Amino acid sequence: MADAPVLAGTYASHPLATDFAAVVQRIHYRYALEVVDAFALCPFMNDPASAFGRFCVVLSRELVVESARELVLAAPGVVHLIYPLFEGDSHTMERFGNSLHEAVRRESSSRGEAGAPVHATFHPEMDGDPESPQRRVGFVRRAPDPFVQFVPQGLTKGGTQFMDPASFDLAALLAAPAKPRGRVATLTSAELATLADRTRALRADRDTSYGRFLDAFH
């Protein structure tokens, strides 16, 4: 499992926040392992634990660009901002992701940094169509919760994979067969059906596991 999540947002100091964030992380680890990694959807991911990077659980019902920008810029590397309390639609989440990316780009430029991270937005009801390769990306980004992912540009070029040199087994890595990555457009009908089943199962786990927490955050 990845490092403990970073807590942020309106309810970050709530007595249940730490326990809730641990549940959120467990659900998203399942998503990373059972969907993203299992179907080789992400070109930069080597394994779910290292790919999580800075995993921030933002306990707010509102989307605030300024505070989110600070979370993205607080440390180098991959950043995930998870919004388990946000109840808005996928279009609102996408607009937020775009605005946040622009804010990060402007701030990075003002600091003299070479290029803003690449971002992607996820939402349980993301627009997408498994039958259309052009619209399939939205379908596979139907994550358990709304979130925005930021990946440094150097990690996305040429399918570069993110690895922590202190934690991976080089011998095992060299011995393992190559696993194609970023293969959203080549998923078969059977794989898409299995992916949809897993997404529904994850959503059911999410709803059941979050149940005892959600009423507390009002």
- Domain with 173 in it: 6-214
Give the rounded percent of residues in the chain with a pLDDT score beyond 90.
56
Mean residue pLDDT across the chain: 84
- 107-153 pLDDT, tens per residue? 988 887 777 788 999 999 998 888 877 788 889 899 999 999 998 87
To 5 degrees, how large is the angle CA 58–CA 62–CA 67? 55
Say if residue 162's pLDDT is above 50. no
Residue 65 DSSP symbol: H
Residue 1 lies in a domain: no
User: Whole-prediction pTM value?
Assistant: 0.84
Say if residue 159's pLDDT is above 90. no
Say if residue 104's pLDDT is above 80. yes
- Gap between the Cα atoms of 165 and 99, Å rounded: 33
- Gap between the Cα atoms of 164 and 156, Å rounded: 16
Which pLDDT score is estimated for 175? 45
How many domains, in total, are found in the chain? 1
Residue 64 lies in a domain: yes
